[in-house]
Structure 1
Amino acid sequence: MKSKWLIIIAAFLLVTNIGTVVYFMSADEETTGGDKGSVLSSFSGNVAQVGEQSISEGDWVERLKERYGKEVLTQMINKEVVSQLATKHDITVSDEELNREIELYHRMVGTSADGHEHPDVEQMGDKELKEEIKHAILLEELITKDVVINEDELRKYYKENEHLYDLKPLYQISQILVESKEEAEQVIQELENGSSFSTLARERSIDEFSAPSGGAMGWVDTTSNYVDPAYLEIIEDMETGKWRGPIQTEAGYGIVYLHDVKKGSKYEFEEVKGQIRRQLAIQQLDANFDPKQLWDELKVEWEYGSQ
């Protein structure tokens, strides 16, 4: 299942480089009259003034196009090609399938240590993430539509990996980690006096990963291997909106805060049959697949000449 989501992430990166698109498109929006009160207007068509030398809006946009233009246009064409071909071949994604894929995404990527390895994906808003996952599903369906996987093989995979579809409850937590029990008790006293948990985490926590984000550790389940076992032993019995501590951990003494809980669920074979088929089909295909290979089915013309 983890390899499935590595493929999804790869599809994201093939379809959209989030940082580049946001950077380029926001620049384009401003240069085409987006914000009338922006700094651009104060330079009379220039985007910067360095001493006596100005940098024009045109030069700026031209440099962006030279550096990112082909890549961004490729990504935009890829999205349009997938959208048109999905319509042509009557390929759709139901709301149930999309919601299930989003939940599995959060489980396999967003709630694990691996999530920190994909900050661009992790920082997507819900709407953007939904669009990208839907696009990735359509792309997978298109590239595997001619691959046949028999029912027995699908059921065999499900049976061997049934635990992956039996989703445990998720707990959204934050922590404040300090070196000694005495310091932890001082933090607890401040919390009881009304101090903000997130502010204290930034100021006092010694955990370099969670402290900058106010102690946030994201969504975890009780099998998570990057959360201290001492936390996992107690979060099941906590109330949301409450904290507990001090808790002795391997790295010091912690106070854990429970923000929210998501109930577990189990997906039966028929619910995930399509996903399994795509996953097994992709494993049979050329690992170097490029979405540009889909362009041949449509008449794609662009300013960079031949593909």
Structure 2
Amino acid sequence: MSKKLLLSIIVVLLITNVATMLLWKNDDTNEDIVDDAEIDTNKPVATLGDSEISYQEWMKSLQNNYGKKELKNIIDHEVVRKLAEENNISISEKVIERDIALLTTMQGLTSEADLKELEEKWRKDITYRYQLEALLAKDINVPEAEVQAYYTKYNKQYQFSESLQFSHILVSTMDTAEKAYKELQDGASFSLLAKEYSIDEDTRESGGYLGFNSVHTEFLPSNYFDIAEDLEEYSYSEPFVTSNGVAILYLHKSLPDITFSYEELKPFIRNELALQSANQNLVADPLWKELDIEWVYGE
């Protein structure tokens, strides 16, 4: 994988992780959030014996630690959104789907609902990153010969191959497989049944989880992919015979091939090379001067 593409993926993950930390209050600690309307700002928010912590001290601490960074982040996104709109910069849906697919393969087992929520966050972050890249690069000249040479060398790294996320229960006999299958139909957990019945020592403790697999892999029986063709996502197969025993296959997620021509990748490669030649970091600061921005932290 090219260093530039790998860096782009890491940037998305970092953005996503930061966003997750900033949104901590929406997760398990939700029950501990106090509605602002319930807080008397004239009274201390905490007392420690004879000591008190005032509401104003608390707010100042929050602002000092998180306020400026979070406000700048909001402004950066709005700057990029407005300038992208003014410059008619739109991002190919195909490129966004490719990046979402790459990030999806980096996840472990994720519920359908949780993955949908992640994809929504990723989509916003990916769109922001590519629009920012395009805005920063728009006035930098890059010879087409360089773009073509880069594509020739690295184009395979921009393509995405079909990938399927599997779990399985592998047993020795059809009788055992049918017993496990009946328990599945009665509502038993696939993961727990894999831990109970599976003879695959490499995956049994992880509930039969096989991760994401390319159709070109040599580590799984070929008929796994044949069976998967008839499965919907988040569903399991009937028992079937494999070269290793009798299996029940669970398809978590199916990601299709996403391939690009030179013309489709050309603007994105050009932007990458432009920023690289200008030694320009992927930050929105240089764009602020294009808009009339005033904020509480001054210039």
Q: TM-score of the superposition, structure 2-length normalised? A: 0.68
The corresponding residue for 1:22 is 23
Which amino acid letter does the alignment assign opposite residue 129 of structure 2?
Answer: A
| Structure 1 residue 81 corresponds to structure 2 residue 79 | yes
CA distance 1:201–1:160, shift in 2 (3 Å): farther
Percent of aligned positions with the same letter in both sequences? 25
Equivalent position to 1:196, from 167, 188, 191: 188
Which amino acid letter does the alignment assign opposite residue 125 of structure 2?
Answer: E
Equivalent position to 2:219, from 219, 229, 239: 229
Question: 1:209, CA displacement in angstroms?
Answer: 11
Question: 1:101, CA displacement in angstroms?
Answer: 1.8
| Structure 1 residue 127 corresponds to structure 2 residue 127 | no
Question: 1:105, CA displacement in angstroms?
Answer: 0.9
Which amino acid letter does the alignment assign opposite residue 4 of structure 1?
Answer: L
The corresponding residue for 2:137 is 144
Equivalent position to 2:290, from 287, 297, 303: 297
Question: 1:156, CA displacement in angstroms?
Answer: 2.4
- The answer to whether the Cα contact below 8 Å between 1:176 and 1:200 also exists between their aligned partners in 2 is no
The count of aligned residue pairs is: 275
- The answer to whether the Cα contact below 8 Å between 2:168 and 2:209 also exists between their aligned partners in 1 is yes
Q: Distance in 1 between matches of 2:161 and 2:16?
A: 31
| Structure 1 residue 72 corresponds to structure 2 residue 62 | no
- The answer to whether the Cα contact below 8 Å between 2:163 and 2:213 also exists between their aligned partners in 1 is yes
- The answer to whether the Cα contact below 8 Å between 1:46 and 1:55 also exists between their aligned partners in 2 is yes
Q: Secondary structure at the match of 1:229?
A: coil
Question: 1:284, CA displacement in angstroms?
Answer: 2.0
Structure 1 residues 177-256: aligned runs within 5 Å: 189-193=179-183, 194=185, 195-200=187-192, 204=196, 211=206, 219-223=212-216, 229-230=219-220, 233-238=222-227, 239-240=230-231, 241-243=235-237, 256=249
Q: Distance in 2 between matches of 1:54 and 1:208?
A: 54
- The answer to whether the Cα contact below 8 Å between 2:165 and 2:213 also exists between their aligned partners in 1 is yes
Point out where structure 1 has 5 or more consecutive residues left out of the alignment. Answer: 34-39
CA distance 1:242–1:305, shift in 2 (3 Å): same
Equivalent position to 2:165, from 172, 190, 211: 172
Q: Distance in 2 between matches of 1:74 and 1:209?
A: 47
Question: 1:141, CA displacement in angstroms?
Answer: 0.5
Q: Distance in 1 between matches of 2:252 and 2:14?
A: 31
The corresponding residue for 1:106 is 100
Moved more, 142-151 or 277-286: 277-286
Q: Distance in 1 between matches of 2:102 and 2:251?
A: 21
Q: Distance in 1 between matches of 2:78 and 2:85?
A: 11
Question: 1:138, CA displacement in angstroms?
Answer: 0.8
Q: Secondary structure at the match of 1:174?
A: strand
Question: 1:52, CA displacement in angstroms?
Answer: 11
The corresponding residue for 1:36 is none
- The answer to whether the Cα contact below 8 Å between 1:5 and 1:109 also exists between their aligned partners in 2 is no
CA distance 1:86–1:16, shift in 2 (3 Å): farther
Point out where structure 2 has 5 or more consecutive residues left out of the alignment. Answer: 109-113
CA distance 1:208–1:167, shift in 2 (3 Å): closer
Question: 1:272, CA displacement in angstroms?
Answer: 1.8
Q: Distance in 2 between matches of 1:284 and 1:141?
A: 14
CA RMSD of aligned residues (A): 4.5
Q: Which has the higher contact order (CA 8 A, sep 6+)?
A: 2
Q: Distance in 1 between matches of 2:90 and 2:190?
A: 39
- The answer to whether the Cα contact below 8 Å between 1:91 and 1:141 also exists between their aligned partners in 2 is no
Q: Distance in 2 between matches of 1:196 and 1:51?
A: 53
Q: Distance in 2 between matches of 1:169 and 1:298?
A: 43
The corresponding residue for 1:37 is none
Q: Distance in 2 between matches of 1:302 and 1:196?
A: 56
- The answer to whether the Cα contact below 8 Å between 1:24 and 1:64 also exists between their aligned partners in 2 is no
Which amino acid letter does the alignment assign opposite residue 105 of structure 1?
Answer: D
Which amino acid letter does the alignment assign opposite residue 200 of structure 1?
Answer: L
Q: Secondary structure at the match of 1:266?
A: coil
Moved more, 268-277 or 284-293: 284-293
CA distance 1:63–1:182, shift in 2 (3 Å): farther
Q: Distance in 1 between matches of 2:279 and 2:115?
A: 27
